[in-house]
């Protein structure tokens, strides 16, 4: 049994690492600033008898596109919309043993029980272009309150979540073979979320994802041609025009991109160029902790209905701190109107040409107006 | 009023072009082999008073990805799940005037009333990277039977649909500025289809879509490195292994790709290398007319429920007949199990890394078994 003491991972946050019944790691992040939990001992044991989930996944190279696809057959059996009293992300009770042995927690991270990528060492397969699905998939629970959401956490809690994200970024980057740490949140049944408890995920990929690889290539070409930073020019253009700005802070600037693909889409950049979420300084963290929940609340207020969204940190590949990548948080919604979702149909899914039914300037107006409504 | 006579577009098919009330073109494709319709005069006039739909759309370049996004604000108002008796794709009746003035039709194609791209000439805008949404969007109705589907049309009708696709490919390719003709079908409310009448669409893009551009780049690199054709090698590998083959015809071969992204995905290639759908010869058309509806029926039979799917023809850019592109039909479903859909969440939508919960070999088995069940 792991009985390491709490380690300090940020000025206000400690981490305690323990093991679940099937050997998976679980990490409790607790804040000195968050007085909602009395005890930070985190010594509760996982009393479940867990059968090892079949975790054989594969990475297969699509020869026509030269991209990796994860084939994870076993995930068909993953937990699917359990009733609230069986939520595996709630703290454990006498009646219900969950993924989190403690009776309460602030922020907790554990290895996904149904992972797309695993650390398991499997010998190379015979077939060319098919490899073991190396990597690591983690679940990040933002709060023990089943009915809350990231939009509704306190700034203090948001700081703890940031500390956890930053710690995971550092830790996963140290694993040999991991090339990219992808931190994201899916919110809403409309995005296919099968557990409603407020949580995000982290995928440690053994390659640079196609989206981020392409951004690096485009940024490199741009710098070769102009001598300037693509990201900085995009940010400067948005600040100059002001049309699509939705957050204008001291350390962060957020805007609806000029060529937004999704109904309500925001890119949130730090004003200074940094590469990784773990590079965020104290002031950036503090502003973000207030700004981000407000932005999410604004999105919920736009159509007066909880927004299904995807939020993802784009950062540089592990070990890179060049100008070709730059940290930003991307948030986009899948709802375009009350009762109407944005679907990816033939143009998007088969040709990769997005059709957006909402003008980005209109979306920015709506988000700004919603922010005003909720703050008045 | 356009009163041109029927033109012959294939040995068995004639086309008659007319205009709708707002000036949009409508084209009737009628077959000598299909005796279901008595009169092919196609002289009915559109008696509706149509207000021109606002058709201002834009092409915006995403600077971070160097890709075009269509911004089409007006489409928010498009027809959304009308009741069956108001279906705009059914033939017109005395009570209900629809998009098709005739009281019956075989296959009909018309310009989309809510297009993402239009022929309208609009002067260049002031903002860099924002251009008028040039192109053309067409709707292809496969049958006048509202409750049928492409899976259920006769081989004779499939031939007429093919003739229409081939004719549209030729005609749209002649428009100056059109670089790619994208022929596709979205089927099922789960794909976001807002009209249930059996129909497909055609987008004439003024650029090569990112998906097809990337396939061309990968195929070019492959030929440089190996001296061989990527497409031919992929097809040969699939035929050698047989594991994922789902159709093994004289002129066509269909398989679940080794690195399939979607639950049930099929790539259907002609055995000879051709570039465009309009290059299909008589024998290829005839085999396809029998094979494709059967494949679609098999997909419906896999889970014993109508499959939501996207089907798309990938072809070479307009005017290209090199080895870098090769015609194939791609079909993929959005359902992974009864009651369970494949959602694109953070990994897919934000990082562009697909996670497929169904092993391609398993999917191929299921499709083959379903094909056997329905043919016995």
Cα–Cα distance measured from residue B294 to residue B247, given in angstroms and rounded to the nearest whole number: 10
Return the pLDDT at B40.
Answer: 64
Dig out the tokens for A227 from the structure. 């001598």
Report CA torsion sign: B335, A333, A340, A263: negative
Instruction: Give the residue carrying structure tokens 């009395």.
Output: A38
pLDDT at B65 over 60: yes
Return the pLDDT at B190.
Answer: 87
Query: In Å, how far is B233's CA from the nearest CA of chain A?
Result: 10
Q: What is the pLDDT of residues B106-115, one digit of tens each?
A: 999 999 998 9
Cα–Cα distance measured from residue B280 to residue B179, given in angstroms and rounded to the nearest whole number: 20
Q: What is the mean pLDDT of residues B333-350?
A: 90
Among B117-121, B292-296, B341-345, which stretch is predicted with the lowest mean pLDDT? B117-121
Confidence of residue A173 (pLDDT cuts 50, 70, 90): very high
For B265, the closest chain A residue by CA position comes to A350
Element housing B239 (H / E): helix B230-241
Q: What is the pLDDT of residues B263-284, one digit of tens each?
A: 999 999 999 999 999 999 999 9
Q: Please answer yes or no on whether A63 and B259 come within 8 Å at the CB atom.
A: yes
Tell me which residues of B are annotated as active site. 199
Q: Are A79 and A87 in contact (CB under 8 A)?
A: no
Q: Please answer yes or no on whether A356 and B201 come within 8 Å at the CB atom.
A: no
**Cα–Cα distances in Å, from A372 out to A247, A336, B365?**
12, 20, 56
Cα–Cα distance measured from residue A126 to residue A128, given in angstroms and rounded to the nearest whole number: 6
- Single out the residue of A191, A56, A39 nearest to residue A119, CA to CA: A56
Segments in chain A forming alpha helices (H)? 155-173, 210-226, 230-241, 282-302, 351, 360-375
Question: What phi and psi values does residue B182 have, to the nearest 5 degrees?
Answer: -110, 110
- Single out the residue of A90, A106, A107 nearest to residue A98, CA to CA: A90
Q: Please answer yes or no on whether B72 and A347 come within 8 Å at the CB atom.
A: no
Return the pLDDT at B37.
Answer: 56
Confidence of residue B10 (pLDDT cuts 50, 70, 90): very high
**Cα–Cα distances in Å, from B126 out to A29, A365, B69, B129, B131?**
51, 21, 17, 9, 9
DSSP secondary structure code for residue B243 in this structure: T
Q: Are B294 and A332 in contact (CB under 8 A)?
A: no
Return the pLDDT at A2.
Answer: 44
Strand partners, A51: none
Q: Angle between the A230-241 and A210-226 helix axes, to the nearest 10 degrees?
A: 80
Cα–Cα distance measured from residue A114 to residue A55, given in angstroms and rounded to the nearest whole number: 7
Return the pLDDT at B1.
Answer: 40
Q: What is the pLDDT of residues A53-78, one digit of tens each?
A: 666 799 999 999 999 999 987 666 66
Q: What burial letters (b/e) apply to B9-42, b meaning 16+ CB within 10 Å?
A: bbebbbbbebbbeeebebbbbbbeebeebeebeb
Q: In whole numbers, what is the pLDDT of chain B averaged over residues?
A: 92
Return the pLDDT at A340.
Answer: 87
Q: Please answer yes or no on whether A345 and B192 come within 8 Å at the CB atom.
A: yes
Query: In Å, how far is A64's CA from the nearest CA of chain B?
Result: 6
pLDDT at B125 over 60: no
Please, what are the domains in chain A? 7-207 (3.30.428.10), 211-375 (3.30.428.10)
Residue with more model confidence, A285 or B85: A285
pLDDT at A1 over 50: no
Q: What is the pLDDT of residues A2-24, one digit of tens each?
A: 445 689 999 999 999 999 999 99
Q: Which residues of B touch A218 (CB under 8 A)?
A: 63-66
Q: Please answer yes or no on whether A359 and B73 come within 8 Å at the CB atom.
A: yes
Q: In whole numbers, what is the pLDDT of chain A averaged over residues?
A: 92
Q: Which residues of B touch A209 (CB under 8 A)?
A: 347, 351-353
Cα–Cα distance measured from residue A222 to residue A216, given in angstroms and rounded to the nearest whole number: 10
Dig out the tokens for B345 from the structure. 């969440």
Q: What is the mean pLDDT of residues B85-100?
A: 94
Cα–Cα distance measured from residue A134 to residue A117, given in angstroms and rounded to the nearest whole number: 5
Q: Which residues of B touch A357 (CB under 8 A)?
A: 72-73, 75-76
Q: What is the mean pLDDT of residues B207-222?
A: 98
pLDDT at A201 over 80: yes
pLDDT at A251 over 70: yes
Confidence of residue B191 (pLDDT cuts 50, 70, 90): confident
- Single out the residue of A148, A140, A215, A252 nearest to residue A185, CA to CA: A140
Return the pLDDT at A82.
Answer: 80
* Residue B217 CA to its chain's centroid (Å): 23
Would you say the ipTM is above 0.90? Answer: yes
pLDDT at B214 over 80: yes
pLDDT at A255 over 50: yes
Return the pLDDT at B55.
Answer: 67
Element housing B14 (H / E): strand B13-19
**Cα–Cα distances in Å, from A237 out to A97, B47, B108?**
52, 49, 46
Q: What is the pLDDT of residues A233-249, one digit of tens each?
A: 999 999 999 999 999 99
Q: What is the mean pLDDT of residues B99-127?
A: 84
Q: What is the mean pLDDT of residues A344-357?
A: 95
SS (H, E, C) B141-179: ECCCCCCCCHHHCCHHHHHHHHHHHHHHHHHHHCCCCCC
Q: Which residues of B touch A268 (CB under 8 A)?
A: none
Partner residue opposite B349 with nearest CB, options A258, A310, A351: A310
Q: What is the mean pLDDT of residues A140-164?
A: 97
Return the pLDDT at B85.
Answer: 81
Strand partners, A140: A109, A200
């Amino acid at each position: 049994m792991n009985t390491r003491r709490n380690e300090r991972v940020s000025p206000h946050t400690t981490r305690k690492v323990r093991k679940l019944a099937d050997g998976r790691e679980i990490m409790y992040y607790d804040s000195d600033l968050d007085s909602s939990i009395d005890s930070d001992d985190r010594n509760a044991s996982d009393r479940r008898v867990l059968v090892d989930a079949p975790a054989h996944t594969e990475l297969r190279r699509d020869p026509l596109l030269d991209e990796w696809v994860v084939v994870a057959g076993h995930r068909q059996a993953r937990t699917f919309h359990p009733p609230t009293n069986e939520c595996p992300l709630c703290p454990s009770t006498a009646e219900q043993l969950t993924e989190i042995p403690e009776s309460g927690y602030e922020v907790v991270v554990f290895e996904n029980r149904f992972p797309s990528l695993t650390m398991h060492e499997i010998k190379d397969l015979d077939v060319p272009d098919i490899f073991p699905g190396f990597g690591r998939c983690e679940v990040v629970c933002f709060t023990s309150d089943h009915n809350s959401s990231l939009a509704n956490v306190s700034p203090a809690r948001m700081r703890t979540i940031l500390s956890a994200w930053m710690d995971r970024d550092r830790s996963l980057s140290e694993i040999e073979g991991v090339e990219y740490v992808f931190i994201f949140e899916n919110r809403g049944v409309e995005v296919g979320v099968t557990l409603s408890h407020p949580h995000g995920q982290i995928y440690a990929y053994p390659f640079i994802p196609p989206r981020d690889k392409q951004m690096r290539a485009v940024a490199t070409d741009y710098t070769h041609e102009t001598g300037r930073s693509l990201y900085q020019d995009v940010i400067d253009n948005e600040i100059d025009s002001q049309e699509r700005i939705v957050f204008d802070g001291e350390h962060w600037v957020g805007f609806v991109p000029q060529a937004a693909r999704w109904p309500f889409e925001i890119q949130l950049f730090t004003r200074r160029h940094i590469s990784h979420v773990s590079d965020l300084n104290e002031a950036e963290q503090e502003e973000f902790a207030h700004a981000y929940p407000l932005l999410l609340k604004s999105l919920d207020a736009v159509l007066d209905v909880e927004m299904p969204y995807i939020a993802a940190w784009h950062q540089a590949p592990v070990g890179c701190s060049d100008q070709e990548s730059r940290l930003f948080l991307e948030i986009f919604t899948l709802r375009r109107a009350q009762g109407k979702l944005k679907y990816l149909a033939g143009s998007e899914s088969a040709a990769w040409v997005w059709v957006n039914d909402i003008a980005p300037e209109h979306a920015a107006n709506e988000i700004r107006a919603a922010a005003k409504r909720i703050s008045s």
